[in-house]
Amino acid sequence: MLSFKLSDTGDLSINTNGILELVFEKTQLSQKLSQRLKMFYGEWFLDTTRGVPYFGNILGERVNQDVVVQIFTDEIFKESEVTNVINISSSLINRVFTYSCDVISIYGEQNFTFEGSN
Protein backbone atom coordinates (compact mmCIF):
# COMPACT_ATOMS: atom_id res chain seq x y z
CA MET A 1 0.00 0.00 0.00
CA LEU A 2 1.13 3.55 -0.59
CA SER A 3 0.20 6.97 0.73
CA PHE A 4 1.34 10.55 0.66
CA LYS A 5 4.21 11.29 3.05
CA LEU A 6 3.36 13.73 5.83
CA SER A 7 5.81 16.12 7.46
CA ASP A 8 6.31 16.36 11.23
CA THR A 9 3.61 19.04 11.28
CA GLY A 10 1.12 16.83 9.42
CA ASP A 11 1.38 18.64 6.09
CA LEU A 12 1.98 16.93 2.76
CA SER A 13 5.71 16.49 2.22
CA ILE A 14 7.11 18.00 -0.97
CA ASN A 15 10.67 17.31 -2.08
CA THR A 16 13.15 19.89 -3.35
CA ASN A 17 11.86 19.41 -6.92
CA GLY A 18 8.33 20.34 -5.86
CA ILE A 19 7.01 16.78 -6.13
CA LEU A 20 4.77 15.17 -3.50
CA GLU A 21 6.60 12.40 -1.68
CA LEU A 22 5.10 8.96 -1.16
CA VAL A 23 5.53 6.33 1.57
CA PHE A 24 5.07 2.58 1.22
CA GLU A 25 4.10 -0.41 3.35
CA LYS A 26 5.73 -0.24 6.82
CA THR A 27 6.38 3.51 6.72
CA GLN A 28 2.85 4.11 5.45
CA LEU A 29 1.45 1.94 8.26
CA SER A 30 3.42 3.78 10.96
CA GLN A 31 2.19 7.10 9.61
CA LYS A 32 -1.39 5.79 9.50
CA LEU A 33 -1.21 4.48 13.09
CA SER A 34 0.20 7.76 14.34
CA GLN A 35 -2.61 9.69 12.60
CA ARG A 36 -5.16 7.28 14.10
CA LEU A 37 -3.88 7.84 17.65
CA LYS A 38 -3.84 11.63 17.19
CA MET A 39 -7.50 11.78 16.14
CA PHE A 40 -9.93 12.68 18.90
CA TYR A 41 -13.15 10.66 19.05
CA GLY A 42 -15.83 12.35 16.93
CA GLU A 43 -13.35 14.75 15.30
CA TRP A 44 -13.74 13.53 11.71
CA PHE A 45 -17.01 14.79 10.23
CA LEU A 46 -17.26 11.88 7.77
CA ASP A 47 -17.20 9.29 10.56
CA THR A 48 -17.87 10.63 14.04
CA THR A 49 -17.41 7.15 15.53
CA ARG A 50 -13.65 7.18 14.74
CA GLY A 51 -10.92 8.42 17.00
CA VAL A 52 -9.49 8.03 20.48
CA PRO A 53 -11.74 8.96 23.42
CA TYR A 54 -9.26 11.42 24.93
CA PHE A 55 -11.90 13.45 26.79
CA GLY A 56 -13.10 11.48 29.78
CA ASN A 57 -10.70 8.55 29.38
CA ILE A 58 -7.18 9.87 28.84
CA LEU A 59 -6.86 13.61 29.49
CA GLY A 60 -7.08 14.55 33.12
CA GLU A 61 -5.47 14.09 36.50
CA ARG A 62 -6.09 10.56 37.73
CA VAL A 63 -5.69 8.61 34.53
CA ASN A 64 -4.97 4.89 34.73
CA GLN A 65 -1.99 4.17 32.49
CA ASP A 66 -3.18 0.59 31.86
CA VAL A 67 -6.49 1.94 30.53
CA VAL A 68 -4.66 4.27 28.14
CA VAL A 69 -2.48 1.40 26.90
CA GLN A 70 -5.59 -0.73 26.27
CA ILE A 71 -7.35 2.11 24.42
CA PHE A 72 -4.30 2.69 22.18
CA THR A 73 -3.86 -1.03 21.54
CA ASP A 74 -7.54 -1.42 20.63
CA GLU A 75 -7.25 1.54 18.25
CA ILE A 76 -4.21 0.02 16.53
CA PHE A 77 -6.09 -3.26 16.04
CA LYS A 78 -8.78 -1.36 14.12
CA GLU A 79 -6.30 -0.86 11.28
CA SER A 80 -6.99 -3.56 8.68
CA GLU A 81 -3.31 -4.19 7.90
CA VAL A 82 -2.49 -5.03 11.55
CA THR A 83 -2.69 -8.69 12.58
CA ASN A 84 -1.14 -8.54 16.08
CA VAL A 85 0.39 -6.19 18.64
CA ILE A 86 3.11 -7.53 20.95
CA ASN A 87 5.77 -6.31 23.38
CA ILE A 88 3.69 -3.36 24.54
CA SER A 89 5.32 -0.88 26.89
CA SER A 90 4.48 2.59 28.11
CA SER A 91 5.85 5.31 30.32
CA LEU A 92 4.63 8.55 31.79
CA ILE A 93 7.50 10.91 32.60
CA ASN A 94 7.04 14.63 33.23
CA ARG A 95 3.52 14.54 31.76
CA VAL A 96 4.72 12.95 28.53
CA PHE A 97 3.11 9.59 27.77
CA THR A 98 5.02 7.22 25.50
CA TYR A 99 3.44 4.08 24.03
CA SER A 100 5.61 1.56 22.23
CA CYS A 101 4.88 -1.83 20.70
CA ASP A 102 5.84 -4.24 17.98
CA VAL A 103 3.19 -4.38 15.29
CA ILE A 104 2.74 -7.51 13.21
CA SER A 105 1.12 -6.58 9.92
CA ILE A 106 0.73 -7.85 6.40
CA TYR A 107 4.12 -6.18 5.76
CA GLY A 108 5.94 -8.01 8.58
CA GLU A 109 6.98 -6.93 12.06
CA GLN A 110 7.92 -3.37 12.95
CA ASN A 111 8.34 -1.24 16.03
CA PHE A 112 5.85 1.57 16.54
CA THR A 113 6.22 4.37 19.10
CA PHE A 114 3.75 7.13 19.84
CA GLU A 115 4.56 10.02 22.14
CA GLY A 116 2.16 12.63 23.39
CA SER A 117 1.90 15.17 26.18
CA ASN A 118 -0.70 14.89 28.91
Q: Cβ(82)–Cβ(107) under 8 Å?
A: no
Give the pLDDT of residue 16.
93
Cα(118)–Cα(90) distance, integer angstroms: 13
Three-state SS at 12: strand
**Minimal CA–CA distance to 35: which of 60, 83, 3, 67?**
3
Cα(11)–Cα(91) distance, integer angstroms: 28
Give the pLDDT of residue 94.
85
Cα(101)–Cα(6) distance, integer angstroms: 22
pLDDT by residue for the chain (118 residues), tens only, comes to 889 999 888 899 999 999 999 999 999 999 999 999 999 999 999 999 999 999 988 888 788 899 999 999 999 999 999 999 999 999 988 888 999 999 999 999 999 999 985 4
Give the pLDDT of residue 117.
59
